[in-house]
DNA sequence: CCCCTAACTGCATCCGTATGCAACATTGGC
DNA sequence: GCCAATGTTGCATACGGATGCAGTTAGGGG
């Protein structure tokens, strides 16, 4: 596509019969120009279709106005929600979003390396950083990074976390209160912090009722993993009657498999709870009890963190909210 | 966050005892430097943690390496899928993604205005452009724009379209073949082209069986709109026994409402088909017959278009694929 | 009517990198 | 031992815009 260079401030200045600085000042917020000059400049700019080149502006100002957002696979609605939240929030604040889709925290490292070349003002990530060497690598770029649920933080890597432990315990208490006595937990793929905290909280919650047994299966954060886990848990003998899944997608897969493959009803035979409060969790086939982390608040805290002067807290905790629905109403 | 400016090529040059141009050539693909100099430069660069500033590079080269992607609300999984496709494809091609979340095509106009200030090399959008003045506004920026399903195209605004008309007709034929005789169509909010083509194709398909009656309701592209439309269609008397919805989310809402609010079964009482083939459409409660537009091919064609020299086709058509599932198996 | 001040303008320079051009060194051929 | 060809290097400048500083102008007060 043969692109001719767009008009520069010099071209506008020439047409308007003023200096290039006058053009620059006209388009710089807070720039001092007389109304007459401003009018001439704006007229010339509009006939030429001039728009200031924001990249070269960032050369002098040192701020690009670009914030990078790194998210995991968008086929998980939670990641899509998080991205939507971050992106619209940033747009409202007049910042641009550079998107990176990333597999895991190691990919985050190389992504940030690349992004630092684009002088991004900050990086927001819905992934967590739990490996010390990844955190150190990220630190090298001198870019403020805000992640979700990281266990490793430092001057440049901060985190906004939901109180997953608390939420896990609350789910345990709720399930017990609804009459469940044989418990199961369906985990995610890797040992992420969110995952570990939810499970630990759940088990501690159970322990308070003197329950130490809790079956466990490994999913993949997706619908298919929930279904596969149910197959593993219920294949022989009686499975759990209270099931906590690390996220909604997993829980929905679990419910579907319980019904279709084992003829078990939810909530009559098995109580199921999830996490994330994605749109689908509220639909009639599921009516899933779940946990809403409050992405709006997470985003707001993240925005505050990247503006924070040095010395801000390395970790901010947000209180998630239990969403009770029919999937756990016995 | 007090950020100290990152090291520049001059700093590296000084440390390595060479000229700034030598540093530049070392980091420019195809740059001519002797192995000895390159080694010195790389050593100095690594001790300083130097990364070339890609923004100032784009100042001289005229290409930023940034492609903008504009998508509608990400709570619709289809948009999330499209974004995922575009983003991973662009990343693989070494381009960066600037994301804009946008309400409608008018918002697209102002978004592109802003983006052109960032010298994006191209704009990909999962929205369609149907208003002539929007298309003309977009043209002013001299940025190649590839949209989905636009009815207005020109030198700068091209489009990759799925053959929605054909797909709509195929759905009609399929529903008729499965025994449906009273038909209904649930539309989207606005008069987008995709929407109109799907409906027109559906009606034409019905016409081939001599059917000219087709009830109609207006949804909102979301689950809630499908449910509301079903309420409108089935409130009085017998509703349709063959229902085509402009997208999967709407269809899933329709199915849920049919079952929960009217006690109607799908597919036994009503055949329901959707469009998009989002993940959830395959889950047991729905097993939705739908249309897969083949986002991979769409993305590939879009990439080809933005590289095309002048004179490429303004519109590329992609053949969608019918996905038959239990929701239409009588 | 004059002087001082405030408002504005343009000049020059800088931001970090790319690149045409001339200068330079090295090597080989004769 | 001289010249030319080849391969490197640095100098200078350009990209588009922001800004300190000095100079200009207009306006107000005495």
Chain B contact probe: residue of A51, A108, A142, A221 with most B CBs at under 10 A = A51
Residue B173 within a domain: yes
How many distinct structural domains can be found in chain A? Answer: 3
CATH of the domain at A34: 1.10.260.40
Domain span including residue A35: 9-52
Q: What is the mean pLDDT of residues A285-313?
A: 90
Q: Same domain for B259 and B312?
A: no
Q: Are residues A241 and A185 in the same domain?
A: yes
Whether A12 and A23 have beta carbons less than 8 Å apart is answered as yes
Residues A66 and A119: their CA atoms lie apart, in Å, by 8
Closest residue by Cα to residue B286 from B245, B248, B239:
B248
Suggest the residue from A71, A74, A115, A124 to mutate for an interface test with chain B (most B CBs closer than 10 A).
A74
| Average pLDDT estimate for A273-279 | 97
Q: How far is CA A150 from CA A7, A126, A185, A220, A316, in A?
A: 46, 10, 22, 20, 11
Q: How far apart are CA A265 and CA A178, in angstroms?
A: 15
The answer on A302 and A277 residing in a single domain is: no
- Cα distance between residue A128 and residue A226, in whole Å: 22
User: Tens of pLDDT along B172-202?
Assistant: 999 999 999 999 999 987 767 888 899 999 9
Is residue B60 in some structural domain? no
Q: Do B77 and B188 lie in a common domain?
A: no
Which positions on chain C have an atom < 7 Å from some protein CB? 7-12, 14-20
Q: Which residue, B317, B318, B295, B320, is CA-closest to B153?
A: B317
The two structure tokens encoding residue A289: 């009890």
Distance, in Å, from the CA atom of B254 to the CA atom of B246, rounded to the nearest integer, reads 11
Q: What percent of chain A has pLDDT over 70?
A: 98
- Please confirm whether the linkage preceding B267 is cis (ω < 30° from 0): yes
A313 is a domain residue? yes
Which CATH number characterizes residue A312's domain?
3.40.50.2300
Q: Residue B66: which H helix or E strand, with range?
A: strand B66-71
Contact residues, chain B, for A53 at CB < 8 Å:
59, 117, 119
CA-nearest residue to B256 within chain A is: A284
Residue recorded with tokens 């401030």: A9
Distance from the B194 Cα atom to the nearest Cα atom in chain A, whole angstroms: 23
B229 and B274: one domain? Answer: yes
User: Which residues are bridge partners to A271 per DSSP?
Assistant: A242
Kindly list the residues from chain B whose CB atom is less than 8 angstroms away from the CB atom of residue A103.
none
Structure confidence by residue, pLDDT tens digits, A76-118: 999 999 999 999 999 999 999 999 998 878 888 888 888 989 9
CB-CB neighbors (< 8 A) of B74 in chain A: 74, 80-81, 83-84, 87
Residue A251 lies in a domain: yes
Does residue A156 share a domain with residue A299? yes
User: Both A157 and A169 in a single domain?
Assistant: no
Structure tokens at B262: 């009217």
A91: which chain B residues are within 8 Å (Cβ-Cβ)? 100-101
Is A244 in the same domain as A132? no
Work out the widest C-alpha separation in chain B, in whole angstroms.
88
* Closest residue of chain B to A73, computed from CA coordinates: B84
On whether residue B225 sits in a domain, the answer given is yes
Residues B8/B15, Cβ–Cβ less than 8 Å: no
Helix (H, G, I), strand (E, B) or coil at B288: coil
Of the candidate ranges A137-146, A230-239, B212-221, the one whose mean pLDDT is the lowest: A137-146
pLDDT at position B311, please?
A: 64
Both A195 and A175 in one domain: the answer is yes
Whether B2 maps to a domain, the answer reads: no
- Domain match, A138 and A247 both: no
Query: Across the interface, do A119 and B54 touch by the CB < 8 Å criterion?
Result: yes
B61 in a domain, yes or no? no
B81/D3 CA-to-C1' distance in Å: 67
Same domain, B172 and B235: yes
Per the CB < 8 Å rule, is B54 touching A80?
A: no
Asked if residue A236 and residue A305 are part of one domain, the reply reads no
**Distance between CA atoms of residues B184 and A179, nearest Å:** 44
Residue A330 in any domain: the answer is no
β-pairing, A145-148 vs A157-162, is parallel
């Amino acid at each position: 596509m043969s692109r001719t260079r767009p008009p520069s401030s010099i071209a506008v200045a020439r047409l308007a019969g003023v200096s290039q600085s006058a053009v620059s000042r006209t388009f710089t917020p807070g720039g001092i120009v007389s109304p007459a000059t401003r009018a001439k400049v704006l007229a010339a700019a509009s006939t030429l279709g001039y728009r200031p080149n924001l990249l070269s502006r960032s050369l002098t100002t040192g701020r690009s106005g670009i914030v990078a957002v790194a998210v995991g696979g968008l086929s998980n609605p939670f990641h899509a929600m998080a991205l939507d939240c971050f992106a619209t929030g940033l747009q409202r604040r007049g910042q641009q979003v550079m998107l990176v889709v990333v597999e895991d925290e190691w990919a985050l490292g190389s992504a940030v390396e690349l992004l630092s070349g684009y002088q991004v003002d900050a990086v927001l990530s819905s992934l967590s950083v739990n490996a010390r060497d990844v955190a150190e690598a990220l630190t090298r770029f001198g870019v403020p990074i805000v992640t979700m649920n990281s266990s490793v933080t430092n001057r440049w890597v901060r985190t906004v976390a939901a109180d997953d432990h608390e939420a896990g315990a609350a789910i345990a208490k709720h399930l017990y209160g609804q009459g469940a006595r044989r418990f199961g937990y369906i985990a995610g793929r890797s040992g992420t912090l969110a995952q570990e905290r939810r499970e630990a909280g759940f088990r501690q919650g159970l322990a308070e009722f003197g329950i130490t047994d809790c079956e466990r299966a490994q999913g993949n954060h997706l619908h298919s993993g929930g279904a596969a886990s149910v197959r593993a848990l219920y294949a022989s003998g009686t499975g759990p009657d209270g099931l906590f899944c690390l996220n909604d997608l997993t829980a929905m897969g679990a419910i579907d498999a319980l019904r279709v493959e084992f003829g078990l009803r939810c909530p009559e035979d098995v109580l199921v709870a999830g996490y994330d409060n994605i749109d689908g969790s509220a639909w009639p086939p599921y009516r899933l009890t779940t946990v809403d982390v409050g992405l709006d608040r997470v985003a707001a805290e993240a925005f505050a963190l990247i503006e924070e002067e040095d010395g801000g807290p390395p970790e901010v905790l947000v209180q998630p909210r239990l969403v009770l629905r029919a999937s756990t109403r016995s």
